[in-house]
Amino acid sequence: MLDALRELETKAQAELQAAADTQALQAWNQAYLGRKGALAPFFQQLRDLPREERPLAGQTLNQVKQALAAALEARQEALKAGERAAAMVAEAIDVTLPGRPASIGRLHPSTATLRRIYAIFAEMGFQVYRAPDIETDMVNFELLNIPPHHPARDMWDTFYTTTEGVLLRTHTSPGQIRAMREYSPEPIRVILPGMCYRYEQVTARSEMMFYQVEGLAVGTEITMTDLKGVMAEYAKRMFGEGRSMRFRASHFPFTEPSVEVDMDCILCKGQGCRVCKYTGWLEIAGAGMVHPVVLRNGGYDPDVYSGFAFGMGVERPAMLLHGVNDIRYFFGNDLRFAQQF
C-alpha cells in the first residue's frame, strides 16, 4: 500500500504541475482529493490492514493527503499570480502619456466686444441698464412714436408671440422708455445692451438676432454737441486715435433731429475699399436728440428736459476689429470660430 501511495503522489504532483488553469485544477482536485477521488480507496484499505501496519500506513496516507492539498494551494496561487501578471501586460496603462488638458472656457466674441463697450462708456459716466428682450408692441413701437400704420414698422418687423401685442424687441430703444419711467425726473446717463430680433433676410452682414447697445442721456442742458462728443470719444477708444467723424442727416421716429454717425473706414483709412463700399466711411450708429413725444412718454417735460440717444450694433464693429467677413459665424455654434478670440 505504501508503494502504491508513493506512486500515486508522484503521479498527482506531476499532473498538478501540468494543470494550466483553474478549471484543470478543479478537475485535479476531484480526481485525487475528492470524495470519490484516487485517495479515497486507501482509507478503505487502511481498515483492512493488520493492526501493526496501520499506524505507519495511516501516517503516510495523511502525509500524502496533506502534501497534495498544500501542493494544490501553492499551484492555485501560482496560477493566479500568472493570470494577474498576464492581465497587467494585456491591460497595461501607459502612465507616461500626457493627460488631456482641461478645456478652459472663454468669452463669446459678442460678449467680449460688449465688455469693451461697457468699459468705454463707464469712463464717460454711463451706467448699464437692463431691459427685457420680450417687449410689448406699445413699448417697442407706439411709445417710441411708431403708431400701427407707420412705415418704419416694415423695416423693424419682428417675431411675435402667441400673446396679442407681445413680441421680441427689434431694437434696444424700448429700453429708453423703461429707463426714463424709472428715473424721471432725475437726469439719466445709461447704456442699454441686449439682444434684438428681426424678421430679416439673413446674409453675411445681417442676422435675425444680434446685439445692440443703446445710449441715452437726459437732463436739462443736453445738446447735440454732447452727442457728437460722446460718439467721437467712443470711436477713438474703440477703433483707435485719429478717427474722423461724419454726422449725416437721417430719420428715426423717436429722435429729432436724427443722424447716422459715420467714421472713416479703419481698413482703408478713408481711401475706399470693399468693406466701406468705396465710400471711405463706415456707419457706426443711428442717433439723434430724443423726440419730445418720447420724452413726454418717458415722464419728462420736453420744455424743460432734453436728451440724446444712439443705437449701435455689436457684431458689426466686432467684425471690423477682428476681420470677420460673415456675421453668421457669431451664432453658428462653431467652436473653431469662437476659439480664435
* Binding flag, residue 312, ligand FA5 (CB under 6 A): yes
Q: How far is the CB of 299 from ligand FA5 (least distance, A)?
A: 18
* Residue closer to ligand FA5 (CB basis): 184 or 206: 206
- For cell 466701406, name the residue: 276
* Binding flag, residue 279, ligand FA5 (CB under 6 A): no
Q: How far is the CB of 310 from ligand FA5 (least distance, A)?
A: 5
Cα–Cα dist 109/117, whole Å: 12
* Residue closer to ligand FA5 (CB basis): 9 or 176: 176
List the grid coordinates of 154. 416694415
* Binding flag, residue 311, ligand FA5 (CB under 6 A): yes
Cα–Cα dist 213/202, whole Å: 20
Please give the angle made by the CA atoms of 166, 298 and 136, to the nearest 5 degrees: 0
Q: How far is the CB of 203 from ligand FA5 (least distance, A)?
A: 8
| Residue 71 φ/ψ, nearest 5 degrees | -65, -40
How many residues belong to the site for ligand FA5 (CB under 6 A)? 23
What is the DSSP annotation of 240-275? -SS--EEEEEEEETTEEEEEEEEEE-TTTTTS--TT
Q: Which of 288, 291, 307, 324 binds ligand FA5 (CB under 6 A)?
A: 288
What is the DSSP annotation of 48-78? HS-GGGHHHHHHHHHHHHHHHHHHHHHHHHH
* Residue, CB closest to ligand FA5: 313
* Binding flag, residue 286, ligand FA5 (CB under 6 A): yes
Q: Which of 315, 319, 329, 338 binds ligand FA5 (CB under 6 A)?
A: 315
Q: How far is the CB of 155 from ligand FA5 (least distance, A)?
A: 7
- Cβ neighbours of residue 224 under 8 Å, at least 6 residues apart? 257, 289, 308
Q: Which of 65, 75, 291, 316 binds ligand FA5 (CB under 6 A)?
A: 316
Nearest in space to 108 (alpha carbons), one of 336, 330, 332: 330
Q: Any idea of the CA torsion for 152, 308, 318, 130, to the nearest 10 degrees?
A: -90
Q: Which of 179, 213, 287, 338 binds ligand FA5 (CB under 6 A)?
A: 287
Site string for ligand FA5, 179-218 (x = CB under 6 A): -------------------x-x-----xx--x-x-x----
Terminal CA-to-CA distance of the chain, rounded, Å? 91
Helix (H) or strand (E) holding 213: strand 209-219
* Residue closer to ligand FA5 (CB basis): 32 or 329: 329
Name residues contacting ligand FA5, limited to 232-261 (CB under 6 A): 252, 255
Residues that bind ligand FA5 (CB under 6 A): 171, 173, 198, 200, 206-207, 210, 212, 214, 252, 255, 283, 286-288, 309-313, 315-316, 327
